[in-house]
Chain A
Amino acid sequence: MTCSQFLALLDDLIDDSVTPELRAGLQQHLRGCEHCEVILNTTRKTIEIYRSHEIYDLPAGLRERLHAAIMARCKKGC
């Protein structure tokens, strides 16, 4: 397996949607290729960081104000 073949399957590996045979091939490539190992780990980390950090917070005050506005208009039948 070449690095570009590995890269083409990177998402499937991360999303855990590869067959056991393919996974074995990918893992074999990883054992001999430091670059692809770094790319796999840092891509996983990228996703994890974006998933676990709130970058657009909805402050409680604003949330209540928007919520009240929505419900007021809904009750009027919009």
Chain B
Amino acid sequence: MATIQPIAGELEPHPDVALVDRVRGGDVSAYDELVRKYDRQIFRIAQHITQNREDAEDVMQDAFLKAYEKLDQFQGNSKFYTWLVRIAVNESLMRLRKRRTGRMVSIDEDVETEEGSVPRDLADWAPDPEQNYNQAELAEILRKTIQGLPQGFRIVFVLRDVEGLSTEETAETLGLSIPAVKSRLLRARLQLRERLSRYFRRNKVGEK
């Protein structure tokens, strides 16, 4: 079907709005589409927070089911995806609490550290540093590195830089102020950079 795309894209309702409306009207297949559209992201976010594969599987199922049950409460003023992410973040944190029985787990945990706020490793990196490792090695380096970040930094970095939420959406999703998101993001980026330098700095090429 050839249609002329409107230039003012922002005036077009987000395609998820139509899908959500169909689900509300009883069309389960529309929910199927929504799940397929976002399952990878939700799984990834759950893995980043819980750092456990089985927990992430449970979180993914629970988050999509909860979103389905609560769809009537979904207000069109935020994106369906952002709303879904908020549910997934909460489910992930609940899962962590269960695992560490009794211990409080929140996104405020461990953020008081000053580590990494001031760059120490000032060596430049090799031109395409990731090419010095194979896929499996690289994935392991990236996992290990991000897992070492304090939870409160890691979630902000994942939502903002990996999943592409805006600063405002990240703040809304995590119940944080915008300045808090910004300061955590900067420290998360700098700490990751610092830790990756160990593997990617120019003079380490060939040493591994």
Do residues B124 and A42 form an inter-chain contact, with CB atoms below 8 A? Answer: yes
Do residues B40 and A58 form an inter-chain contact, with CB atoms below 8 A? Answer: yes
Chain A residues within an 8 Å CB radius of B196: 42, 46, 49
Chain B proximity mask over A9-28: 1 for CB below 8 Å, otherwise 0: 01100100000000000000
A10-66 interface (Cβ within 8 A of B): 10-11, 14, 35, 38-39, 41-43, 45-47, 49-51, 53-56, 58, 62-63, 66
A34 to chain B, nearest CB (A): 8
The stretch from B10-18, B62-70, B78-86, B94-102 touching chain A is: B62-70
Chain A proximity mask over B168-199: 1 for CB below 8 Å, otherwise 0: 00000000000000100110011011001100
Do residues B56 and A56 form an inter-chain contact, with CB atoms below 8 A? Answer: yes
Q: Which of B39, B64, B123, B182 contacts A38 (CB 8 A)?
A: B123
Do residues B143 and A55 form an inter-chain contact, with CB atoms below 8 A? Answer: yes
A48 to chain B, nearest CB (A): 9
Do residues A46 and B139 form an inter-chain contact, with CB atoms below 8 A? Answer: no
Q: Which residue of B lies closest to A67 (CB)?
A: B35
The majority secondary structure among interface residues of chain B is helix
Do residues A39 and B122 form an inter-chain contact, with CB atoms below 8 A? Answer: yes
Do residues B28 and A70 form an inter-chain contact, with CB atoms below 8 A? Answer: no
16 A-B pairs in the complex with CB atoms less than 8 angstroms apart: A35-B122, A39-B119, A39-B193, A43-B190, A50-B161, A50-B162, A53-B130, A56-B143, A62-B57, A66-B39, A66-B60, A67-B32, A70-B61, A70-B64, A71-B32, A73-B61
Residues of chain A at the chain B interface (Cβ within 8 Å): 7, 10-11, 14, 35, 38-39, 41-43, 45-47, 49-51, 53-56, 58, 62-63, 66-67, 69-71, 73-75, 78
**Cα distance A67–B39 in the bound complex, in angstroms:** 8
Do residues B138 and A7 form an inter-chain contact, with CB atoms below 8 A? Answer: no
Chain A residues within an 8 Å CB radius of B139: 53-55
Q: Which residue of A lies closest to B29 (CB)?
A: A71
Do residues A41 and B61 form an inter-chain contact, with CB atoms below 8 A? Answer: no
Chain B residues within an 8 Å CB radius of A70: 35, 60-61, 64-65
Do residues B161 and A47 form an inter-chain contact, with CB atoms below 8 A? Answer: yes
Chain B residues within an 8 Å CB radius of A62: 57
**Cα distance A56–B124 in the bound complex, in angstroms:** 28
Besides A56-B47, A71-B35, 17 more A-B contacts (Cβ < 8 Å) are A11-B189, A14-B189, A39-B119, A39-B190, A43-B189, A46-B189, A46-B196, A50-B161, A51-B162, A53-B130, A56-B43, A58-B43, A62-B57, A67-B36, A70-B35, A71-B32, A74-B68
